[in-house]
Amino acid sequence: MKPLPVKILVSLFIISLLFLNKEWLVIYGWGITLLMYLAFFLDLNKVKTFNFSANVHGYRIFLLAMLALMSVLWSPDADATLQHTFVLFILVINSFVLYYFLVRYNLYSLVAALVLVYSFVNYSLALGLPFFGFLENHDEEVPRFIGTELNPNLLSIMLMFSIFLSLLAFHQRKLKSAAIKGLHIANILLALYTIFLTASRKGIAFSFVLILFYFLLNFRRLMGSFKTIAIAGLAVFALSFFLKGDFISENISPALDRVGRMVSTLGGRDNEGSTEERVRFMREGWTQFTASPLIGYGAASFKYYYHLYAHNNYIELLFGVGFLGPLIYYSIHFSILRKLWQYRTGLFLAGFILVLMFMDIGLVAYYDKRIMLMLLVIIIMSEREISEKRVSISLQQFPLSLN
C-alpha cells in the first residue's frame, strides 16, 4: 500500500482507540478495525515475509488468552469468562496488526502526534474551550474532570503518556525546531494542569516521578543550558496564569487532599473509602489466590465474587488464572528491560516500563487497549535504541577488524 492511505487508516484506527467512549462511535470503531484487518492481510500478502518476533506483547497476550480460554472450564460464570477471552483474542489481533503497520511504515511519529492531539482535545475541554464539547463526557456520580473519558484515572494515565512522549523527545535530543520544543513544553504543563483536575492520585504521582527521573538523567545538560533555564522561567510564568483566582482552592487542593487521605489510610491514621476498599481487595484476593494458586477461579471472575474488578492488575491475574497469569503478562515488561540492560541503553524507556508496573498496583491493565498502544510504542522505541547501539558498537569495532 502507498504510505498516505496507510497513515490515514492507522490514524483513524488509533483515534478509535483513544476516543471510543461514545455510543455513536462504536460502529465507527468496528468499521475501522475491519478495514485495518483487510489492509493488513492484503499488504502482508504482498510483503510475504515480516519479522514479528520483537512483538512480545502480541505473543504473550495470546498465551494469556489461551489460559483464559481454559479457565472457562472452572469459572463460576462461563459466559463472562468466554466474553473476556474474546476481548483478549481481539487484543492479540490488534497488537499484531498495529505493530505491523507502525514498524513497516515507520509511524512512531504519527502515534506521538495523535497522542498530543488527544491531550490537546482534553486540556481544551479543561480550559473551558468549546471546540470539542461534543466529545466531552459527564458523570454526576464522579465530581472530577473526565474529559473525553468515562473515568478520570484513564484520562490521567493517557495524559501521563503524552508527558512521557514529550520528555522522550527532549531526552533523545532530536528536537531542532524551537516551535516544536515550545509545543512539547506546553503539552507537559497543560497535561499536568488537566491531571490535577482529574484528582487522580496515580496520574499526579507518576507524572511527577517521570519528570523527576528525566531531570535526574539530564541534570548536567539541563543545568549547563542557558536556553533551558530561560524556557523554564517562561514556563513558570505561563503556569502562573492558571493560578489566579480560586484555582488552588477549587482544583489543586482537592487533588492534594485525595493524595493525603490515601497516604493516611495506608499509614493506618485514617479511613479513606476508595483506598481502604482497594487494600481490602488486595488482602482478600491474595488470600483466595493462595487457596488456588495453580488455576485460579476463572478469568475475570473477581467481579463475580466481589461485584467489582480488583483495581490491581497483579491480584486480578492471580485470582483469575493463577500464578501463570502475572508471569506471562509481566514477561512482556521484563523481556524489554532485559534487552535494554543487555545493550546498556534506553534508560528513560526502562523508567517508563517500571512506572507502568508500579501503576498496575492500582489499575487492571492487561486487556486495556491504551496500555497495548503504550507497550507497542515502548517495544518499537526499544528496538530502535538497541539497533542504534548495535551500529555504534560495530563502528567502534570496525577499526580493530581492519587490523
Query: What tens digit of pLDDT does each residue of 260-308 get?
Result: 554 554 454 555 556 788 889 999 999 999 999 999 999 999 999 998 8
More confidently predicted of 106 and 401: 106
If one counts every other C-beta atom within 10 angstroms of the C-beta of residue 330, the result is 20
DSSP 25: G
Domain contains 127: yes
What pLDDT is recorded for position 402? 46
CB 196 within 8 A of CB 255: yes
- State the chain's mean pLDDT as an integer: 86
Mean pLDDT score, 320-347? 96
Helical segments of 292-368, H only: 302-306, 313-321, 324-342, 347-359
* Identity of the residue numbered 68: A
Sorted by sequence, the CB contacts under 8 Å of residue 1 that are 6+ apart come out as 39, 42, 43
Whole-number Å distance between alpha carbons of 266 and 262: 6
326 pLDDT above the threshold of 90:
yes
Cβ–Cβ < 8 Å for 271, 265: yes
Q: What is the pLDDT of residues 122-150, one digit of tens each?
A: 999 998 888 888 888 887 777 788 999 98
311 φ, ψ (degrees, to nearest 5): 60, 20
Q: How many domains does the chain have?
A: 1
Q: Which range, of 96-105, 301-310, 371-380, averages the lowest pLDDT?
A: 301-310
In-domain check, residue 90: no
Mean pLDDT along residues 175-186: 82
Where would I find the H helices in 267-323? 273-291, 302-306, 313-321
Average the pLDDT over each of 13-22, 224-233, 283-292, 343-352 and give the range with the smallest value. 224-233
State the Cα–Cα distance between residues 106 and 36, nearest whole angstrom.
16
End-to-end CA gap in the chain: 46
Q: Is the pLDDT of residue 256 over 80?
A: no
> Which of 63-72, 164-173, 264-273, 380-389 shows the lowest per-residue confidence on average (mean pLDDT)?
264-273
Closest CA to 16 of 101, 108, 118, 113: 118
Whether 325 is in a domain gets the answer: no
Domain range for 252: 107-271
pLDDT tens-digit readout, 206-228: 999 999 999 999 887 776 665 65
pLDDT at site 265 = 45
Q: Quick one: pLDDT at residue 394?
A: 81
* Whole-number Å distance between alpha carbons of 142 and 144: 5
Predicted local confidence at residue 292, as pLDDT: 94
Task: Judge contact between 175 and 169, C-beta under 8 A.
Answer: yes
Asked whether residue 396 is assigned to any structural domain, the reply reads: no
- Has residue 24 got a pLDDT over 80? no
Output the pLDDT for position 245: 47
Q: Are 152 and 200 in contact (CB under 8 A)?
A: yes
Between CA 167 and CA 170 the distance in angstroms is 5
Tell me what percent of the residues of the chain surpass a pLDDT of 70: 84
Q: Are 337 and 359 in contact (CB under 8 A)?
A: no
28 within a domain of the structure (yes/no): no
Higher pLDDT among residues 181 and 90, named by residue:
90
Asked whether residue 69 is assigned to any structural domain, the reply reads no
CB-facing half-sphere around the CA of 192: CA atoms within 13 A: 22
> Are the CB atoms for 13 and 33 separated by under 8 Å?
yes
Q: Is residue 146 part of a domain?
A: yes
Phi, psi for residue 258 in degrees, rounded to 5? -65, -40
Q: Is residue 400 assigned to a domain?
A: no
Is residue 335 a contact partner of residue 56, using CB atoms and an 8 Å limit?
A: yes
Q: Which of 155, 156, 188, 196 is nearest to 170 (CA)?
A: 188
Reply yes or no on whether the pLDDT at 179 is more than 90.
no
Q: Residue 44 above 70 pLDDT?
A: yes
Provide the phi-psi class of 173: left if phi over 0, else alpha when psi is between -120 and 50, else beta. left
Q: How would residue 106 be classed by pLDDT, with cut points 50, 70 and 90?
A: very high
Q: How far apart are CA 182 and CA 37, in angstroms?
A: 37
Quick check: 255 pLDDT over 70? no
